[in-house]
Amino acid sequence: MRVPLDAKDGEQTIFDGLIAARDRFGDKEILEDLDRKPLTYTGLIRAAFVLGRKIAAMTEPGERVGILLPSSAGVVVTYYGLHAHGRVPVMLNFTSGQSNIKAAIKAAGVRKILCARRFVNQAKLEDLLDDLATVAEIVWLDDVRKTIGLPDKLYGLMAGLMPRQFRVKTDPSSPGVVLFTSGSFGAPKGVVLSQWNLVANCRQVAQHIDLKPEWVMFNPLPTFHCFGLTGGVLLPILHGMKAFQYPSPLHAKQIVELLPDVKASILFATDTFLNQYARVAAPDDFATLQFVVAGAEKVRPETHHLFNTRFHGLKLLEGYGATEAAPVVAVNHPDRNRPGTVGQMMPGMEWRIDPVDGIPDGGRLFLRGPNVMKGYLSAEDPESVEPLAGGWHDTGDIVDIDKDGYVSILGRIKRFAKIGGEMVSLTAVEGLASAVWPDARHAVVSIPDARKGEKLVLVTDRRDADVARLAEWARSHGAPELAVPKKIMRVAEVPVLGTGKTDYVRIQQMAELEKAA
């Protein structure tokens, strides 16, 4: 199946897309962060050229350069600065732990990491940076900025007037970013997205939803997460909306108070964070929002209920994405919102659904399109990218698509257990637990079982959770007995990743350690 993408503007590079946006929308304010010193398009272009030239003096053309920064105007300037001078940004997840970050540095062949002392001090990452300094050179942007003098400013002034003459020419098919999957299952994998993958995905979203240039996009998500980079930075800037960058999604109270102050129109976040924001927000805190977009994890019924009851008329739009697809694959529309689904496929996407033995409804989703990655980084050779067979990306997700094209996520292929010969969706079992205890957070994993092949383990922060209550609810609602976990682990907090997604790797380890004890 395929929905056509309007290709009238042709393929573009990241930096040419920025220049074209200034031509189209005029020299308006386009970027702001907590420092409250907004940049116009020209201000962003000049800053990118000036900082980018400093970095270019210490790197090679085409070199992959690590960026370890929070969501801020600084990370946006740095990202565009690398593109202005033909370098490739590698976004490093500073919440993923030393071993994962070092593995990412090695996999991408990163020799230099761009960072800021102010951020490291505030986030208390000194030990992490000391460790990373053993495998790559740390370049402190604070120090680089101190070396900017009059010649650099004059260069930036000229480059801002004639950016197409000053920028290093690259190809839309050349790398736009190297990102790493969140590692929900196993070690993170390096994803190489082309410049056109990223620009195309922004166009797909803008063709699907009519975005107004007077709107403000509020981005609390980190740019090492594709949702934060594409949705929170590139999409608004390429389509005339101011992009407001907030350094951490964890600051629920500060964020909800800031939303009306910056006149935020769209808020991007994950279910975990949106649930927290909705709990602490007064109705007026969301008054300027046109709609809210949730991605990266399933939206719980409780979160929908919070938005429906506390913020009447505010649409919570669930979407679906993958780092490998830059990331937006499908999203609901403000005028055609179907809670429980992740909306309709983006224009320009092809998809197929392959049947899976033991799963009667839906199938395994494969994707191809202008936003689908070039490939994964080879584990053996940082310079090599393993291309996709026929251009198709295997999402590993089990989905169903109805006659109107709305996509329902039934689970991940790895999120199914085989119990007594029957396939059981772990996602569906989490839904069962959420129905019984909607105010708690739950995660379900499976461990080997000598009698039935696998056994379900519910990890929950509900202190009085018990198997009998689950079994009673399942019987009264016609859920199969196989879907009731026979073991419950009660924890103070269900582990999550820095992006807010459930950390299934840690939860699996916890369940296996408990079994072995």
Higher pLDDT, 147 or 515: 147
- Per-residue pLDDT, 448: 79
- Per-residue pLDDT, 147: 94
Quick: pLDDT tens for 234-254.
Answer: 999 999 999 999 999 989 999
Pairing of strands 29-32, 39-40: antiparallel
Residue 324 pLDDT grade (very low, low, confident, very high; cuts 50, 70, 90):
very high
Task: Report the percentage of the chain scoring pLDDT > 70.
Answer: 94
- Per-residue pLDDT, 27: 95
Quick: pLDDT tens for 255-265.
Answer: 999 999 999 99
- Per-residue pLDDT, 422: 64
Distance CA 438, CA 428 (A): 14
Distance CA 291, CA 509 (A): 38
Task: Report the percentage of the chain scoring pLDDT > 90.
Answer: 58
Quick: pLDDT tens for 447-482.
Answer: 877 666 678 889 999 988 888 888 888 878 777 777
H or E element that contains 115? strand 112-115
Q: Which of 4-18, 316-330, 430-444 has the highest mean pLDDT?
A: 316-330
Helices (H) and strands (E) in the chain, counts: 18, 26
**Which of 91, 84, 87 shows the shortest CA–CA distance to 19?**
84
- Per-residue pLDDT, 184: 45
Residue 398 pLDDT grade (very low, low, confident, very high; cuts 50, 70, 90):
confident
**Statement: 420-516 belongs to CATH 1.10.287.3610:** no
Report, as an integer, the average pLDDT of 324-342. 93
Length of the chain: 517
Quick: pLDDT tens for 359-379.
Answer: 778 889 999 999 999 889 987
Quick: pLDDT tens for 274-292.
Answer: 988 999 998 889 999 999 9
Look at residue 185 and tell me whether its pLDDT is greater than 60.
no
Percent helix, strand and coil across the chain, each rounded to 5?
40, 25, 35
Mean residue pLDDT across the chain: 89
* Alpha-carbon 421 to chain mean position: 35
Residue 517 pLDDT grade (very low, low, confident, very high; cuts 50, 70, 90):
low
Quick: pLDDT tens for 96-121.
Answer: 778 888 989 999 999 999 999 999 99
Rounded to 5°, the CA angle 108-296-374 comes to 35
Higher pLDDT, 388 or 517: 388
**Per-domain residue ranges for the chain?**
14-407, 420-516
Residue 418 pLDDT grade (very low, low, confident, very high; cuts 50, 70, 90):
low
Distance CA 236, CA 28 (A): 13
Look at residue 395 and tell me whether its pLDDT is greater than 70.
yes
- Per-residue pLDDT, 3: 63
Look at residue 326 and tell me whether its pLDDT is greater than 90.
yes
55 Cβ neighbours under 8 A, 6+ residues apart: 65, 78, 81, 82, 85, 87, 114, 139, 144
Report, as an integer, the average pLDDT of 269-273. 86
Distance CA 91, CA 93 (A): 7
Look at residue 31 and tell me whether its pLDDT is greater than 50.
yes
- Per-residue pLDDT, 451: 67
Report, as an integer, the average pLDDT of 194-218. 96
Look at residue 335 and tell me whether its pLDDT is greater than 80.
yes
Q: Please state the CATH superfamily assignment of the domain spanning residues 14-407 in this structure.
A: ANL, N-terminal domain (3.40.50.12780)
- Per-residue pLDDT, 299: 84
Higher pLDDT, 423 or 501: 501
Whether 259 and 285 have beta carbons less than 8 Å apart is answered as: yes
